[in-house]
Every structure is written in C-alpha cells, then in structure tokens.
Amino acid sequence: MSAIAADEMRALIQAMAERVAAKRDDLNRLDAALGDGDHGASISTAFAVAVEETEAIEQPSLSAIWLATAKALMNRMGGASGAIFGTFFLKGVASLRDADRLSHNMMAAVLADGLEGVKARGKASVGDKTMVDALEPAVRAFAAADDFASAWRAAAAAARSGAESTRDLVANQGRAKFLGERAIGQQDPGATTIALMFEAAHDWWKENKQ
C-alpha cells in the first residue's frame, strides 16, 4: 500500500510552491479584480519560505514539515489570507504527530481537519466565493477515493471545478463581499490557489509514485 514518508511530504510542499510561483502573476490578476492584487506575490513568497524551512529541518517528520508550512504561510503571507491558509495546515498537525508514514485514510483525516479549521476561522461555506468553494469538494473527493492515486486525481478535478464555480457567485465573505454583484464574473484567487495546490500534488504523485 502506498504511503507518504517525511521526505515525500517535503517534496509535495515543494511541488505546491513551484506551481503557485509559476501562476503568481495570474493569481495577482485575479486578486486585482476583487482585492489588493497581491495574492499571488504574497502566497508564492510564503510558500518559498515554507520550502526553505522544511529543508532546514535536520530530522524531518511529517508533523514538523506540516507545522513549518503552516507557520510560513501565517507569518510571511500575513493578513486574513495568511491566517486562513496557515490554519489549513496547522489544524492537521495533531493528526501527524506520531506518524512516520501517512496512509490515504490518514491523509484524508488531515485534510478534513484543515478544512474544518478553515471554515471555523473564516466563517465561510461553499457558495460564499472563497477558498472553501474549492477546498471542501476537494477534501470530500479525496476521502471518497480508494487510494492515493485516485484521491489526488479526484481532489484536483473537484478543486478546479470548485474554483471555476466562484465566477458565478456573489461574495459573502472576504474583501470581495463589498463589491456585491460586481464580483460576479471574477474567479476567487484563494479558491484558484487551492486548485493549484491539489493539481500540483496530483502531478507529483503521478510522476513519482505510480
């Protein structure tokens, strides 16, 4: 049965960081229509720090890598987005604390913990035009699959579909809520980032573990 070890978890974080960095300008453009226009810059910088921090861990563990990623997003991204993206990783740390290898079911639990943390922190649900519109369907799809390969594939597809669905929504949370119906037609940058993260994980798994 496939499982994720600490060095592979570190590689997954790096894959996510590289994908977000590659789409930095696109994310900035999405954010410019709804917010400050710096989402791509801030989250790509924070992920780059996460990669540096995880590489610096002398005896890497799953929980230490997940925690370092959480702290980098919270501290280097800043603001409400940093707190919420950081919370996604932070809430999964407890489930990783005694694990040296991560099964599909364990990973599903970590992702579910992160989702619940994000929803509690941001007070958002599906339909509010936030990252939850991509994250919740991705987490549900991951858990419903039978193994890692099908889970990452299903989660990536669900996240992308969820992100694209935000174009048709009026924002009920975040800065975009002040735009009212003017936000319709614009895709949420946070949800798009979630899609990029799951797509990166799927591609990494397909290239390295199948």
- Per-residue pLDDT band for 168 (boundaries 50, 70, 90) equals confident
The number of C-alpha atoms within 13 Å of 65 and in the hemisphere containing its C-beta is 24
The shares of helix, strand and coil residues in the chain, as percent rounded to the nearest 5, are: 75, 0, 20
The answer as to whether 172 is a domain residue is yes
Domain of residue 20, CATH code: 1.25.40.340
The answer as to whether 167 is a domain residue is yes
The answer as to whether 210 is a domain residue is no
Supply the pTM of this predicted model.
Answer: 0.93
The answer as to whether 96 is a domain residue is yes
Range of the domain at 105: 4-205
**CA distances for 118 relative to 53, 111, 129, 159, 202, angstroms:** 23, 11, 14, 15, 22
Each residue's pLDDT tens digit, 92-131: 998 898 889 999 999 999 999 999 999 999 899 998 889 9
The answer as to whether 200 is a domain residue is yes
The answer as to whether 141 is a domain residue is yes
Each residue's pLDDT tens digit, 188-204: 999 999 999 999 999 99
How many structural domains is the chain composed of? 1
The answer as to whether 164 is a domain residue is yes
What's the mean pLDDT when you consider all of the chain?
A: 91
